[in-house]
Amino acid sequence: MRKLMFGLVYTALLAGANTAMAAGADILSLRDGDMKKLIVHETPEATSDAAFFLADDAGTATLADYRGKYLLVNFWATWCAPCRKEMPQLNTLQKEFGGDDFEVLTIATGRNSPQGIVKFFEEAGVDSLPRHQDPKQALASQMGVFGLPITVLIDPEGQEIARLRGDAKWDSDSAKAIIKALIESRSDS
């Protein structure tokens, strides 16, 4: 009986781990280094429908406007030292993988002047990321973003599949392997 119970528990744990495979991509096994901080959800979670401001006064958008591709949404601020460190790495990730199946979406949350964001991007050498804003932290608050940076992986259906608190090396082999696996899982379906 004890062996049977152990077998059932083990099977249940394996099944739970399999639900953490985002759209068929086993990203759990690809986490190494900083990416070990990436918490992969057992089941996808709903995201907020709060609007944020697009760069250059181009209006507003919601995360739902980006459905159909994987999103890596980075909440950051100009005063955030770890954000300054990882923003060029996110830029590299966008340059390498950005397209129809994947996009890095950067959203400055809280008090960040548009001029300050432009200066931040120029100083950091960022030329491939959006300068979107969430000045009243409506989106960040609804997404449970407390502290910066916070990065959220969202699947093509608009559901949160993973989250990383704090900074990470987004141009690492592990981060690239995770994004590549997600993109390839879209191609396989």
Closest CA to 47 of 183, 182, 181, 140: 140
| Tokens read off for 17 | 């781990």
State which residues of the chain have pLDDT below 70: 1-24, 189
pLDDT tens digits, 24-57: 578 999 999 999 999 999 999 999 999 999 999 9
Q: What percent of the chain has pLDDT over 90?
A: 84
Cα separations (Å) of 59 from 12, 136, 140, 182? 47, 15, 18, 30
Predicted confidence at residue 186, as pLDDT, reads 78
Cα separations (Å) of 167 from 2, 48, 55, 148, 151? 44, 22, 23, 8, 8
What secondary structure letter does DSSP report for 54? Answer: P
**In whole angstroms, what is the distance from residue 187 CA to residue 45 CA?**
23
Q: Say which residues have a Cβ less than 8 Å from residue 83's Cβ, sequence separation at least 6.
A: 76, 77, 148, 149, 167
Structural domain harbouring 174: 2-188
Predicted confidence at residue 88, as pLDDT, reads 97
Q: How many domains is the chain partitioned into structurally? A: 1
Predicted confidence at residue 70, as pLDDT, reads 98
The C-alpha angle 8, 41, 54, rounded to 5 degrees, equals 165
pLDDT tens digits, 85-100: 999 999 999 999 999 9
Residue 21: CATH number of its domain: 3.40.30.10
**In whole angstroms, what is the distance from residue 171 CA to residue 136 CA?**
30
**In whole angstroms, what is the distance from residue 186 CA to residue 189 CA?**
5
Predicted confidence at residue 157, as pLDDT, reads 97
